[in-house]
Amino acid sequence: MSALVTFLHFIPLSLVITLVYNCSRYESTSAILKHATRSFLYLVGFMSLMFGILWGCSYDL
Amino acid sequence: MFDSRIPQKNRSLAAFLAFLVPGLGHYYQGRIFKASVYAVCIIGTYTYGMAMADGNGVYTHQVNGSQSMRNFSFLAQAGVGSVGLVAVLQSQRYFAQNFRGENIYPIEEGIDQQVVAQLVYNNPDEGALEDVPGQLVIPPQARSADVIEGEFIASIDGQETRFLVAHPSCNESIISAKSTWQLDCSLREEVNGQVNTVGRLETEIPREFLNHFCVPPDVNTIDSWYNRVGGKKYDLAVTMTMIAGLLNILAIWDCFDGPAHGYGDEEEKTDSNKKPEEVIEPEAN
């Protein structure tokens, strides 16, 4: 398994975690989906930002 | 907290069902959307993790010689109760067996199995034939039989070749984390009406599923999993089962005590019920 494929597991895993977490917070389907979408975007955005910073720092090493 | 709109039914039973199978407790309570989300997400992640690790990676202990050590990742994996309970039962079965190095070859059942065998000759000039595919047939015999014999019908370069085999033996415990058991037989040849042992045959026979699934492995078996699956991939697979187990704890609690922040439409209600602020007109001087 290439490193990229391993790395890309974080996307479905983030989706699963945010969905299950928000399911345990709210009962209304619309509230769950709304909060889960927001959490997912925050999580993936934050991880991508961190990845970008670390990738930039390690560029040409 | 439980809202009056959320069906509780018997919430202890619901929590237990959620522990056994993610989503089952919510399904019992009639919360179908949540049941579907929990089932797909948690069972999906757990199954994917186990499939990545070739069905391994969930066990209560690891064994090193006569010592056993707890597997701490199991604490998280046990969140999915059905697999966790199986692992606990398998652990009990494994440690209860009293293996003293006896031959576990099933004499009375016999073997009729497609295998890949290694044929090693006693005469160094003849060498060895490696990875020979073929059918190993050893008919069932009485336990008191003097010689247990059969044949190995090999396919070498597309040609069928028959080898006589005898004295099958396997000195492993019946319950083991290894998915196969190693069978050794003596290899025989008939020359001028006389049967002589000319070498030995080694092959791997698949172990019964319930005799290897979730059984505590020894260190060498874990090493072989690492080598077969790949270190990083195996670690990722175990991590996924751990994440799924931990997520199911949230699902169990949701089943027992309801969603943590309430129904979820409270903010909208509060917003729509808000009265417009009264405008206080300054008094005229």
Three state DSSP letters for B113-136: EEEEEEEEECCCCCCEEEEEEEEE
Burial class (CB in 10 A: 0-12, 13-18, 19+), B215: buried
Backbone angles phi, psi at B138, to 5 degrees: -125, 110
Do A26 and B259 lie within an 8 Å CB cutoff? yes
Going by pLDDT thresholds of 50, 70 and 90, the confidence category of residue B269 is low
Residue B279 has pLDDT above 60, yes or no: no
- Interface mutation target, options A2, A9, A23, A35, chain B, most CBs of B under 10 Å: A23
Nearest CA in chain A to B243: A17
* Half-sphere exposure in the Cβ direction for B48 (13 Å, CA): 16
Write a three-state SS string for B49-109.
HHHHCCCCCCCCEEEECCEEEECCHHHHHCCCHHHHHHHHHHHHHHHHCCCCCCCCCCCCC
List chain B residues with CB under 8 Å of A21: 247, 250
User: In Å, how far is B259's CA from the nearest CA of chain A?
Assistant: 5
Show which residues on chain A lie within 8 Å of chain B, measured between beta carbons: 1, 6, 9, 13, 16-17, 19-21, 23-32, 35
List the single range of A33-37, B19-23, B143-147 with lowest mean pLDDT. B143-147
More confident residue, A25 or B149: A25
What number is the average pLDDT over the span B231-251? Answer: 95
Tell me the pLDDT of chain B averaged across its residues. 88
Residue B5 pLDDT grade (very low, low, confident, very high; cuts 50, 70, 90) = confident
The region of weakest confidence among A25-29, B146-150, B275-279 is: B275-279
Q: Cβ contact (<8 Å) for B251 and A32?
A: no
The reported pLDDT for the residue numbered B155 is 84
Contact B243 A1 (CB under 8 A): no
Q: Mark yes or no for CB contact A31/B232 under 8 Å.
A: no
Band the pLDDT of B285: cuts 50, 70, 90.
low
Which of A33-42, B87-96, B97-106 is least confident?
A: B97-106
pLDDT of residue B177: 94
- Give residue B241's Cα distance to chain centre: 12
Kindly report the nearest CA distance between residue B218 and chain A, in angstroms.
25
What is the average per-residue pLDDT within B91-115?
86
Q: Do A24 and B259 touch (CB under 8 A)?
A: yes
Q: Out of B45, B251, B265, name the one closest to residue A24 (CB).
A: B251
- pLDDT tens digit string along B44-72? 999 999 999 999 999 999 999 889 999 99
CB contact under 8 A, B34 and A25: no
* For residues B136-152, average pLDDT: 86
The answer to which of B104-108, B222-226, B240-244, B269-273 has the lowest mean pLDDT is: B269-273
Tokens 């928000």 found at: A22
What pLDDT, on a 0 to 100 scale, did the predictor assign at position B202? Answer: 93
Note the pLDDT of residue B176: 92
